[in-house]
Structure 1
Amino acid sequence: MKVSWRTVGALLCIVGLIATWLAMAELLQDLQGTYKKPYFVNYCVRSSYSFALLFWMVWRFYPWKKQKTSMEHTGHFGWHAFVTKAIYLAFIINVSAYTWYLSLTRTSVSGNTAIYQSSSAVVFIMSVPLLKEKVTIPKVLAVAICITGVCLVAFFPGNKKEGDNINPSVEGYVLVVISTVFYAADQVVYRKLAVHQKDAVPIANAVRFIGLVGVVTVLCYWPIILILDGTNFEEFEWPDGYALKQIALNAALDLVYNALLLICITLSSPLFASVGVLLLLPASVPADYLIHDGYTLPWQAFIGVAFIVTGFITFCIANYLESRQLRRMAESSLDETADSEPLLNEPSS
């Protein structure tokens, strides 16, 4: 079984996504209890994406690189095209993140998790018309199995307690649904607008793009801080040293997470990335045991974990079979073209 470098790269990205998400979850729980200014936190975190441009510039100007033209450095997308697309994606990402931050204190942990992690279903629905994603029984089955597993894990959390500041409300669940839809749209729209199969530097362009999203946020989204403060919806308060450190760590991890997410989408598809990220729930089991004094999930949740793993394996198999079929069709088409060329070029008698 031959596995392409893109598939291997996407799987490595999934591993990195899971690790960074688990670290962010621990930091964010602490931050929510010490500094309750969700928009300012969101602005700082999204602005940190601009540092990705520094990594791109290191790659661009590294002495041993042999590229000689700007086309070889930017691939299929020039700066003007990428900036325009980054403006669209910055809006989608900021809406998704801010509404999710707002929902945290207005929903139960289980309900929030179940809704937000079901984004793979929304990604699937959006991918069919926008990305021409092929609807197959194995893919539908894989997504359904994964979401069933998410619900089992979310609604059987064991003895984990809700935070003291959690007050579930209809408004909170509306916010997390909005966040989930925009989160799914972020992945699908990025693949639609900012990924091209013939791009010579796909990974570098994913890093460049997330950096431009950060720059757009820095330049265009700071006035909202003043508006929220002026309307008393979120009175501005500068974080203390501890909260500032937490924000900086969360921003660094979020930058890594979203860069890996875009790279994973670039190398595979939004659906593969969204289904793969669901593996963070099984991965959280040993993490919870080690960090939270031996906490373990109840048996119903372990069944959910098994469902998620089974669903991901099912999706990987379905994805591999589909890719193999497409390769065979392409090879068959090339063979037919090669066979017909002598006939087309044969001189008439």
Structure 2
Amino acid sequence: MKAAIRYTIAVLSLVGMIATWVAMAEIVQDLQTTYPKPYFLTYVVHSGYAFFLITWLVWRSLPCERFKRDDYCGKFGWHDYIEATIWLAFCSFASGYTWYLSLSRTSVSGNTAVYQSQSAFVFLLSVIFLKEKVTVLKVISVVLSLAGVLLIALFPGPSHSNRDMHPSIWGYLLCAMAMLFYVIFEIVYKKKAVHADDPLPLWNAVRVIGLVGIQTLLCYWPVLLILHGTEFEKFELPTGDNLRMLCIDVALDGVYNVLLLVCISMSSPLFATVGLLLVLPVSVVADYVIHKHYTLPAIAFGGVALIALGFVGFCAAEYILQRKEAARAQSCELESSDSFSSSETRRLLSSSTSD
């Protein structure tokens, strides 16, 4: 697949991720207040990913010879994906659960600052494990984005949150754990379940997220019994509006994660993470449009500008790298062609001399 097409798919996936994230934030903000069951919420939402495996199986059964070939489903087989999703399911669940736990123990701005700092850790781990190329422009872009997050976190404007909040060190540690598990999830997926020559990245992302859902559904329910028995989290089925919001959240979260995996497949975890920071300014606009009362302080708009500038800088860095790699590949082809021509010329000359 050409680099331009891959990049376009990554950007479109990112746009979808931002839209679903903003929608989920509106739902979770209400759901966590009226139904404070973090483990059950995490279990149901992540088990809901299993429906994507059903979708993949239906697609696989389509009467099309092109799709029935095993080699057309990418480099990895079932064993590879199942092995990878053992870790992916754990990291995804751990991240979701610890994040839910952190919400009532951190301020909104503090939670945002800690969780969105993941781009720095993704950059570091990508360099170590994925051999991400380090350039000055990439480093500057990540720093600008983090500075923008910090400005928005420090100057969030008037709060209209109704949730009971008791900030503590434990809450920020939980948020940091959620962020680190999420970072590991992205790196493991790119390392263990992505291949550059995958002909169907969307459908293989659907298969992976479906397997994550199956493993969550089968392996994580016993903890519900333990939490209920110890009264740490009493089991109670949601009803009415809570049930409706939970069903919508399951669907949105699943779509978001499929788009995330496609974005990572087409680009890198760092691109997805830096790009997702754009959700902060988009959320500000959504709050203003939906709630009609949220205004961001003038200084925080500087943070919005820094995030946007950081993303543009990162895209520019990726574009420059792609151009250099394309030029290098073209140069190698020309050298190979010249070498072949010289060799062929020498062979012909030798043949005519002997004659």
TM bracket (short chain) = over 0.9
Which residue of structure 2 lines up, in the alignment, with residue 106 of structure 1? 105
Distance in 1 (CA, whole Å) between partners of 2:67 and 2:170 is 53
Structure 2 gap segments, 5+ residues each: none
Which residue of structure 1 lines up, in the alignment, with residue 21 of structure 2? 21
* Deviation string, structure 1 residues 213-268 (Cα, Å, up to 9, x no partner): 11111111111111222222222122223222211111111001111000000011
Map 1:34-49 onto structure 2 (within 5 A): 34-49=34-49
Distance in 1 (CA, whole Å) between partners of 2:67 and 2:136 is 45
Distance in 1 (CA, whole Å) between partners of 2:163 and 2:216 is 32
Distance in 2 (CA, whole Å) between partners of 1:196 and 1:245 is 38
Distance in 1 (CA, whole Å) between partners of 2:63 and 2:271 is 36
Which residue of structure 1 lines up, in the alignment, with residue 245 of structure 2? 246
Distance in 2 (CA, whole Å) between partners of 1:268 and 1:27 is 29
**Which is worse superposed, 252-261 or 59-68?**
59-68
Secondary structure (helix, strand or coil) at the match of 1:4 reads: helix
Distance 1:6 1:300, change over 3 A: same
How far apart are residue 200 of structure 1 and its match? 2.1
Which residue of structure 2 lines up, in the alignment, with residue 274 of structure 1? 273
Distance in 1 (CA, whole Å) between partners of 2:176 and 2:182 is 10
RMSD: 1.6
Which residue of structure 2 lines up, in the alignment, with residue 222 of structure 1? 221
How far apart are residue 118 of structure 1 and its match? 1.2
Which residue of structure 2 lines up, in the alignment, with residue 158 of structure 1? 157
Please say if residues 46 and 216 of structure 2, whose CA atoms lie closer than 8 Å, have aligned partners that are also in contact: yes
Which residue of structure 1 lines up, in the alignment, with residue 95 of structure 2? 96
Distance 1:250 1:68, change over 3 A: closer
How far apart are residue 162 of structure 1 and its match? 4.3
**Which is worse superposed, 287-296 or 315-324?**
287-296
Report the structure number with the largest CA radius of gyration.
Answer: 2
Percentage of matched positions with identical amino acids = 53
How far apart are residue 342 of structure 1 and its match? 4.2
Which residue of structure 2 lines up, in the alignment, with residue 87 of structure 1? 86
Distance in 1 (CA, whole Å) between partners of 2:163 and 2:318 is 43
Distance in 2 (CA, whole Å) between partners of 1:178 and 1:64 is 45
Please say if residues 104 and 163 of structure 2, whose CA atoms lie closer than 8 Å, have aligned partners that are also in contact: no
Distance in 1 (CA, whole Å) between partners of 2:60 and 2:277 is 34
2:267 paired with 1:286: no
Structure 1 gap segments, 5+ residues each: none
**Which is worse superposed, 151-160 or 188-197?**
151-160
How far apart are residue 80 of structure 1 and its match? 1.3
Which residue of structure 2 lines up, in the alignment, with residue 195 of structure 1? 194
Secondary structure (helix, strand or coil) at the match of 1:66 reads: helix
Secondary structure (helix, strand or coil) at the match of 2:124 reads: helix
Which residue of structure 2 lines up, in the alignment, with residue 69 of structure 1? 69
Please say if residues 108 and 162 of structure 1, whose CA atoms lie closer than 8 Å, have aligned partners that are also in contact: no
Letter in 2 for 1:185: I
How far apart are residue 64 of structure 1 and its match? 4.5
Map 1:102-181 onto structure 2 (within 5 A): 102-181=101-180
Distance 1:250 1:164, change over 3 A: closer
How far apart are residue 65 of structure 1 and its match? 5.4
Please say if residues 50 and 215 of structure 1, whose CA atoms lie closer than 8 Å, have aligned partners that are also in contact: yes
Q: Normalization by structure 1: what TM-score?
A: 0.95
* Deviation string, structure 1 residues 251-305 (Cα, Å, up to 9, x no partner): 1110011110000000111000001111111112221111112321110111110
Distance in 2 (CA, whole Å) between partners of 1:327 and 1:183 is 32
Letter in 1 for 2:39: Y
